[in-house]
Amino acid sequence: METDTTGFIKTKKNRSLMWFLVPITVYLLFFFLYPVIYDIYISFFDYRLGSQAQFVGFGNYRAMLNDSQYMGSLITTMVFVVAAVVAELVLGMIIALLLNNEHPLMQGIRTIILIPTVFTPLVAGLVWKALYHPDLGMYTYYLRKIGLDIGRGLTVERSSALFSVILVDVWEWTPLMVIVILAGLKSLPKDPYEAAMLDGASRLQIFFRITLPLLRPTLVVALLIRTLDALKIFDIIWAITGGGPGTTTTVANLRIYEVGMQHLKIGYAAALSNVLLVFGVIAGVFFVQSLYKGKEA
Amino acid sequence: MNMKRLMGMAAGMLLCSTMLFAGGKQEAAAPAGGGSDLPYAGVELRFAVMADQFADYTKVLAQEFGQKTGAKVNVDILGYTELYQKITQDFTTDTKQYDLLTVDIMWSGEFAKNGWTEDLTPMINRDKAEIDYDDIMPVTWTLGSWNGKQVAFPMAGYANSLIYRKDLFSDPKEKSAFKAKYGYELAPPTTIKQLGDAAEFFTRPDENLYGLVANGARGSAVAQDWMEYMRSFGAAIFDANGNVVVDSPASLASLKFFVNIFDKWAPPGAIGYWWDDRETAYRTGQAVMQSSWSIARAGYENEEISLVAGKTGMTPSPRVEGTAAEYGFGGWGVGINADISDAQKEASWAFIKFITGKEAQKEWMLHDGAPIRRSTLTDPDLEKQMPWLGEILTVFENGNGDYRPRDPNSNEIQSILALRINQAITHELTPEQALSEAAKEIKALK
Amino acid sequence: MAVAGYTNGTKYTLWTLRTLVVICLVIFFMLPVVWILTTSLAQRIAMFKLPPQLFSKPTWKNFSYIFTQMPVLTWTLNSLIISLGTMVLSLIIGVPAGYAFSRVNFTGKRLLLIVILLTRALPTIVIVLPFRVIMQSIGVLGTRFAVVLIDTVYNAAFTFWLMSGIFESIPEDLEEAARIDGCTPIQAFLLVAVPLSKPGLVTSALFAFIFSWNDFLFALTLTSPDTATLPLGMLSTYGVLQQGWTYMAAMGVVAIIPVVTLSLFLQRYYVSGLTFGGVK
């Protein structure tokens, strides 16, 4: 981080650059803040598309507290986000360390491993749905073949349905994590490693004492993006399980979709999504603060 | 210089994309036909069509209509969920993206209540002779009728029937084994008791053969399949006075039977099946019987998508002994967006008359269409190719289009059942709990 | 244990273990990719066979079906225009802002960063409804432009953030030199900083493009039949009463080939662009 003096000089010298911030601010005010304000406003109304809106105060929010499906979906969302993001981080780290050498085979793998990340999520969902098909799916068939007890199918048993959709998210987004971590690894300074080698530190020690702290900012950024995106998970689950069996894979966005897009209850859907937004805000602030803390340290 | 090049490129790209945006809406401008004998030359209609089997051929029919009248009909094929979403958004924001749209029988109440699609009653009365009103099967009018309004015109009628493996049911070895075990002749079941026996008899997991299959996945799939069995038990969601009776004893019995299908007779994965999966289980020969819509019937004979070609029989759905002979009726009507101009409405009405007319219906039947007319169902040419038309006629003559409610809240009712029935078949709730929850939630909608 | 202290035996075991892990991971990540490719060329009836077959007698029927029965070219063109539009707009809005953010200190900086990043946290389902109302009131509902506008909300912030990190990692000295030579701040930005940030630019552009290309919900809500995109077309291949795996796979291949090609082609840029400038 720059010292105070340079910071001061920067401010004076570059004041005109502040104009560069105007377009994005205006744009987001109009297209981001306005919809958010509209959502907050409409969440105080009982408004169903096609009929008159009626002011109900906090009625929608009170109704939400009794909406066991939505409350349950918030918990499912949390489980989904934490499990998927942690799995992606750990797996991404392992793969990045495996691929972080110049063997031609590893370079080749590095090139193709990104393909899942650019898959259209809807396509990914439909493909995995076919692979998971409880009778004809390739995964189902071979998992049974090797003697694994998957009951009536991974996506249709209540015990494994959530796991099976998390796995698809891991499949789709771990490669991104790998690429980000690889990029971080490449830009690490060499000196600390040489010093550690001289001290005779073990690989594990080097990893935890040097690599991980140095990678911290990269990881925080990657975690932030993945967490915010995972909170909004929709396409994959919608395509594979539709929220079932029961409510086991109903994440918040799926419930909001049902209320807003299928039952056309816009006011209530707005209230539900505002609550989800609060979770996003909390996660966002947490990660940004921790990013700054890392930088200042 | 470097900067200039960059700016130039950026400006060029922006300009280029802006022009393309601007072109978005006009590019499909109608090539005016010119001929004065064409009543709708220059008119352009947009038709949102459900992605069922009949969809592909609507394009051909739309072209024929164009040649006759000069109107250009653009057919837009959409899946079930997107179709509902796109057209309801179109209605509520008055964007007039579609002039014509296919209407699910279950949407009738909601569309009528909100005035989203045109009430066709005056037009029907005016052109009664032209449309040969009496030729149209009476039950098909439930496609789109609600509180005295007709918000869609019957277009594709589906009969819910029992589909079974003719070859297995007529196999002498199977017949004698069945008789030895159950004490009566093996025949296509007509009662629920016989259905259960036959399902049990043919369930042989070690041969990968299962007696009876139904949809189990949470969603409209499980809700609609269960309602079909509910009807066979003589139960309903609402009674004649509009009271919620979804938790009646008959209804509970039907749910217990439905749960049995998944516990005992269906392929193991059936608790996760959507319509396409259920059809696949039948077409691969894994399942011996299923309750399905007649629109899928022709597909069983198509060797590209069926391993059981030539082996299929179709019969009206079995029902509990003592209940009146009535069978599930469903399908698609075609409605006119109430927001469009009178001229567009007039052309749309002409299109409806064309596509539901005798000639078009007959041609359509040969290409995965679905019937609404008695003349189509009894046409000798068609019958030669589709010997099952008689069964459809029987179902239509005793059809019940109301067992899946056409109520304005039908979408929410369906969501409630989608979850509760799925919870019953996965044993998260007992059938009693599932139905009492459903009843509570449906009552709360009123 | 010292790094160099492995015996040959452990080394070999480790090597085998590592290779095994790599093979398992490659299968995990690549099987769905192989599946969609082979399924797009499979006979429909082959999908009914057990054991499931990854390779069967290939046919072009699925592709000829989707190209003759569905407006795939229109969808592709729409997807392309929307994605390019989002990319250009996100760069125009996000890159200068990211630059300014990295070069100027002001109070409320962190707050601005948080607010901008929160766009990414906004639940997609409900923003589309008010957005639809706004689009209708300015008369662009149903156009590709409407989709570009909403996709840019999600992407401009990301571009901004990524670029501010990138610019922060570029030393200021060069711009200062240019300023001494008489450049305005804007010239210094365009002539010095932008060319130096090429990997970041490519990364931002690619991410905006991919986000927009893959979007389903916004396109579903905001397009008209003329402006529908490929992901919407995907669902039309899925008939209710018949299994559409082969058509779906063919459409899926059409949908993913452009982004896969693009990202493989540009990979050497964004591997370095993705450090977010966070690591110096």
**What secondary structure does DSSP assign to C74-103, as a single string?**
HHHHHHHHHHHHHHHHHHHHHHHHHHHHHH
Query: Residue A295 has what pLDDT?
Result: 59
Identify the H or E element spanning A81: helix A68-99
**Would you state the structure tokens that stand for residue A233, as one six-digit string?**
């998970």
- State residue B51 phi and psi, 5-degree precision: -80, 50
pTM of the model: 0.89
pLDDT-based confidence at C272, cuts 50/70/90?
low
Environment class of residue A102 by beta-carbon count within 10 Å: exposed (0-12), middle (13-18) or buried (19+)?
exposed
The answer to whether B24 contacts C136, with C-beta atoms less than 8 Å apart, is no
For residue B269, the chain C residues in CB contact (below 8 A) are none
Query: Residue C110 has what pLDDT?
Result: 78
A151 backbone φψ class: left, alpha, beta (φ>0; ψ -120 to 50): left
Q: Of C45, C50, C195, which is closest to B305 when you measure between CB atoms?
A: C45
Q: Are B345 and B166 spatial neighbours (Cβ–Cβ below 8 Å)?
A: no
Q: What are the beta bridge partners of residue B210?
A: B287
Task: Identify residue B126 by its one-letter amino acid code.
Answer: R
CA distance A173 to A184: 17
Q: For A214-218, B32-36, C3-7, C156-160, which range has the lowest pLDDT when averaged over its residues?
A: B32-36
CA distance C236 to C256: 17
The answer to whether B305 contacts C44, with C-beta atoms less than 8 Å apart, is yes
DSSP assignments along C123-188, one per residue = -HHHHHHHHHHHHHHTT-TBSHHHHHHHHHHHHHHHHHHHHHHHHHTS-SHHHHHHHHTT--HHHH
Mean local confidence (pLDDT), C209-222: 89
For residue B423, the chain A residues in CB contact (below 8 A) are 245-246
CA dihedral sign of residues A136, A138, A140, A146:
positive
Query: Dihedral, CA atoms, B102, B104, B108, B110, nearest 10 degrees?
Result: -100
**Given CB atoms, is B281 within the 8 Å cutoff of chain A?**
yes
CA distance B291 to B164: 9
CA distance A80 to A85: 8
For residue B292, the chain C residues in CB contact (below 8 A) are 241
pLDDT tens digits, residue range C163-186? 888 888 888 888 888 888 888 888
Query: Residue B446 has what pLDDT?
Result: 66
The answer to whether C263 contacts A114, with C-beta atoms less than 8 Å apart, is yes
**Given CB atoms, is C279 within the 8 Å cutoff of chain A?**
yes
**Would you state the structure tokens that stand for residue C209, as one six-digit string?**
């493009």
DSSP assignments along C209-259, one per residue = HHHHHH--HHHHHHB-GGG--HHHHHHHT--SSS--HHHHHHHHHHHHHHH
Residue in chain C closest to B295 (alpha carbons) equals C241
Query: Residue B20 has what pLDDT?
Result: 41
CA distance C46 to C39: 9
The answer to whether B79 contacts C236, with C-beta atoms less than 8 Å apart, is yes
Q: Of A136, A244, A247, which is closest to B219 when you measure between CB atoms?
A: A244
The answer to whether B2 contacts C191, with C-beta atoms less than 8 Å apart, is yes
For residue B97, the chain C residues in CB contact (below 8 A) are 142, 224-225
Mean local confidence (pLDDT), C119-130: 78
pLDDT tens digits, residue range A253-291? 999 999 988 888 889 999 999 999 898 888 888 888 887
**Given CB atoms, is B412 within the 8 Å cutoff of chain A?**
yes
Tens digit of pLDDT at every position of chain A (297 positions): 333 444 434 445 667 788 888 899 899 888 888 888 888 999 999 988 777 889 999 999 999 999 999 999 999 999 999 999 999 999 999 988 888 877 777 777 777 888 898 888 989 999 999 999 998 899 999 999 998 888 899 999 999 999 999 999 999 999 989 888 888 888 788 888 888 888 888 888 888 888 888 888 888 888 988 998 899 899 899 999 999 899 999 999 999 999 988 888 889 999 999 999 898 888 888 888 887 776 554
Neighbours of A263 (CB within 10 A): 18
Instruction: For residue C3, give how far its alpha carbon lies from the nearest alpha carbon of chain A (Å).
Output: 6
CA distance C128 to C219: 10
Look up tokens 């550690």; give the residue: A196
**Would you state the structure tokens that stand for residue C208, as one six-digit string?**
């905006």
Q: Best of A51, A133, A156 to disrupt the B interface by mutation (most B CBs within 10 Å)?
A: A156
Q: Of B218, B281, B412, which is closest to A244 when you measure between CB atoms?
A: B218
The answer to whether A245 contacts B286, with C-beta atoms less than 8 Å apart, is no
Q: For B50-64, C11-25, C116-130, which range has the lowest pLDDT when averaged over its residues?
A: C116-130
Task: Identify residue B237 by its one-letter amino acid code.
Answer: I
Q: Hey, is B40 helix, strand or coil?
A: coil
CA dist A21 → A24, A37, B249, C101, C113 (Å): 6, 22, 67, 8, 11
CA A240 to chain centre: 18
Query: Residue C127 has what pLDDT?
Result: 80
Q: Are B50 and B103 spatial neighbours (Cβ–Cβ below 8 Å)?
A: no
Q: Best of C125, C189, C262 to disrupt the A interface by mutation (most A CBs within 10 Å)?
A: C125
Direct distance between the N- and C-terminal alpha carbons of chain A, in angstroms, rounded to an integer? 9
**Would you state the structure tokens that stand for residue A226, as one six-digit string?**
């993945």
**Given CB atoms, is C122 within the 8 Å cutoff of chain A?**
yes
Q: Best of B218, B279, B407, B411 to disrupt the A interface by mutation (most A CBs within 10 Å)?
A: B218
Which chains does C contact via 3+ CB–CB distances below 8 A? A, B
Which of B408, B375, B350 has its CA nearest to residue B47? B350
Residues 109-138 of A with CB under 8 A from B: 133-136
Q: Are C262 and C209 spatial neighbours (Cβ–Cβ below 8 Å)?
A: yes
**Would you state the structure tokens that stand for residue C122, as one six-digit string?**
């906004």
Q: Are B329 and B396 spatial neighbours (Cβ–Cβ below 8 Å)?
A: yes
For residue C216, the chain A residues in CB contact (below 8 A) are 120-122, 235
For residue C70, the chain B residues in CB contact (below 8 A) are 77
**Given CB atoms, is B12 within the 8 Å cutoff of chain C?**
no
CA C243 to chain centre: 29
Residues 142-171 of A with CB under 8 A from B: 151-153, 155-156, 158
The answer to whether C124 contacts A116, with C-beta atoms less than 8 Å apart, is no
Q: What are the beta bridge partners of residue B373?
A: B136
The answer to whether C106 contacts A18, with C-beta atoms less than 8 Å apart, is yes
Query: Residue C144 has what pLDDT?
Result: 93
Query: Residue B36 has what pLDDT?
Result: 57
pLDDT of C5 above 60 = no
Higher pLDDT, C251 or C120: C251
CA dist C262 → C63, C256, C265 (Å): 22, 10, 5
For residue C50, the chain A residues in CB contact (below 8 A) are 136, 141
Residues 5-34 of A with CB under 8 A from C: 7-8, 10-11, 14-21, 23-25, 27-28, 31-32, 34
Which chains does A contact via 3+ CB–CB distances below 8 A? B, C
Please, which contacts does A144-147 make with residues 24 or more away whose CB atoms are closer than 8 Å?
Answer: A145/C51
pLDDT of C1 above 60 = no
Q: Of C148, C195, C244, which is closest to B2 when you measure between CB atoms?
A: C195
The answer to whether A246 contacts B92, with C-beta atoms less than 8 Å apart, is no
Query: Residue A198 has what pLDDT?
Result: 85
Tens digit of pLDDT at every position of chain B (446 positions): 344 444 444 444 443 444 344 333 333 444 444 445 788 988 999 999 998 889 889 999 999 999 999 999 999 888 887 888 889 888 988 888 899 999 999 999 999 999 999 999 999 999 999 999 999 999 999 999 998 999 999 999 999 999 999 999 999 999 999 999 999 999 999 999 999 999 999 999 999 999 999 999 999 889 999 999 999 999 999 998 889 999 999 999 999 999 999 999 999 999 999 998 999 999 999 999 999 999 889 889 988 889 999 999 999 999 998 888 888 999 999 999 999 999 999 999 999 999 999 999 999 999 989 999 999 999 999 999 999 999 999 999 999 888 888 888 888 999 999 999 999 999 999 999 999 999 999 999 86
pLDDT of C6 above 70 = no
CA distance B16 to A295: 42
DSSP secondary structure code for residue C256 in this structure: H
Which of C41, A161, C183 has its CA nearest to residue B3? C183
Q: Hey, is B286 helix, strand or coil?
A: coil
Residues 80-119 of A with CB under 8 A from C: 94-95, 98, 109, 111-119
**Would you state the structure tokens that stand for residue C133, as one six-digit string?**
């109302």
Q: At what angle do helices A68-99 and A212-231 cross, to 10 degrees?
A: 140
Q: Of C50, C88, C240, which is closest to B13 when you measure between CB atoms?
A: C88
Neighbours of A190 (CB within 10 A): 7
Q: Are C154 and C86 spatial neighbours (Cβ–Cβ below 8 Å)?
A: no
**Given CB atoms, is C252 within the 8 Å cutoff of chain A?**
yes
CA distance C70 to B11: 34
CA dist B322 → B190, B233, B234, C159 (Å): 12, 10, 9, 69
CA distance A40 to A57: 11
pLDDT of C280 above 50 = no
Report CA Rg, chain C: 24
The listed range with the strongest mean pLDDT (C114-118, C137-141, C197-201, C205-209) is: C205-209
Instruction: For residue C176, give how far its alpha carbon lies from the nearest alpha carbon of chain B (Å).
Output: 18
Q: Are B297 and B282 spatial neighbours (Cβ–Cβ below 8 Å)?
A: no
